[in-house]
Amino acid sequence: MAYQHGLFAWADISTPDPAAASAFYTALFGWDAEEQHDPDGNHVYTMFKLDGKVVAGLGPQSDGGEQEMPAVWNAYITVDDINTVVDGWALARGKVVMPPMDVFDSGRMAVVADPEGAIVALWQAREYAGAEVFNSAGAMTWNELNTRDAAAACEFYGKTLGWEFELFPMEGAGDYWVIKIPDKSLEAPLSGDAYNGGILTMSDDFPSEVPAYWSVYFTSVDVDADAAKIAELGGSVMTGPMDTPSGRIAVVADPAGAIFNLIKPPSAQ
């Protein structure tokens, strides 16, 4: 299995308490957790599985020293040549947070930020391509950039990743730009097209100190029930549940504060 250049194909969470996070997400989504350890027995990563298929990951947070790092969901974009993309990223005034590095035989990764500060990961696959299931309940279905300058973001990502964009007007919420991958010859278990991300202009409700950011969406068959369950499990509901042109959604956070989104697409209504 391979994923096409420019597609979001993986998401994982970095958190200070992997055991607590694992308990939360397995209870919420019905995931099974498969822990991976180094030769000394230290937990290094967790693969979450849904009906036997890998769906997302979890890693212990690196030591941030005196400054405690927040828990965060990370989105990964597949690239054909990570060194070339990272070089172009820097030339386009993006920031290289972590330069390309080998992840055993699985692939190569880098962490980058766009000119507005939105952080995202890049992934060049070797033995491991990414998630094995999308768009099902409990699986990743969408990734979204919240930015204050959608036009500049479209120009930047078009230049660095080759993305194209399709305007999707949203009544009462401004314009929404859907990310379009030009070549649709996919070998991935997506929905049959090359759309799995979008760009949204941040509203005036966001404090000025909040930078642009990428967020991950997971499919839910009942957003209201899942939002209530998140609160019962010690998480929080930040926005919604509410109906949108894209479906019923909620912005939520786990007990450590990692923000993610739930969505029930209109086709599942």
Q: Please write the tens of the pLDDT for every residue from 21-77.
A: 999 999 999 999 998 877 777 778 999 999 999 999 998 886 554 456 789 999 999
* pLDDT above 90: residue 204: no
Q: In this predicted structure, what is the pLDDT of residue 209? A: 73
More confident residue, 184 or 243: 243
Nearest in space to 254 (alpha carbons), one of 72, 58, 31: 72
For residue 230, the SS3 value is helix
**Average pLDDT over the chain, rounded to an integer:** 88
* pLDDT above 50: residue 191: no
Task: Give me the domains of the chain, ranges plus CATH numbers.
Answer: 8-268 (3.10.180.10)
**174-195 mean pLDDT:** 64
Nearest in space to 11 (alpha carbons), one of 154, 176, 196: 196
Q: In this predicted structure, what is the pLDDT of residue 133? A: 92
Nearest in space to 75 (alpha carbons), one of 62, 90, 56: 56
Q: In this predicted structure, what is the pLDDT of residue 185? A: 52
Whether residue 202 contacts residue 13, with contact meaning beta carbons closer than 8 Å, is answered with no
Confidence of residue 203 (pLDDT cuts 50, 70, 90): confident
Q: Which whole-number Å values give the CA distances from 43 to 16, 61, 94, 248, in the listed order? A: 12, 11, 33, 36
> Quick check: bond before 60 cis, omega within 30?
no
Exposed/middle/buried for residue 162 (C-beta within 10 Å: 0-12, 13-18, 19+): middle
pLDDT digits (tens, 9 = 90+) for 42-55: 778 999 999 999 99
Please spell the DSSP secondary structure of 10-70, one letter per residue: EEEEEES-HHHHHHHHHHHH--EEEEEE-TTS-EEEEEEEETTEEEEEEEEPPP-TTSPPP
CA angle 193–12–22, rounded 5-degree value = 125
Confidence of residue 250 (pLDDT cuts 50, 70, 90): very high
**Residue 103 one-letter amino acid:** V
Confidence of residue 20 (pLDDT cuts 50, 70, 90): very high
CA-only gyration radius of the chain, Å: 18
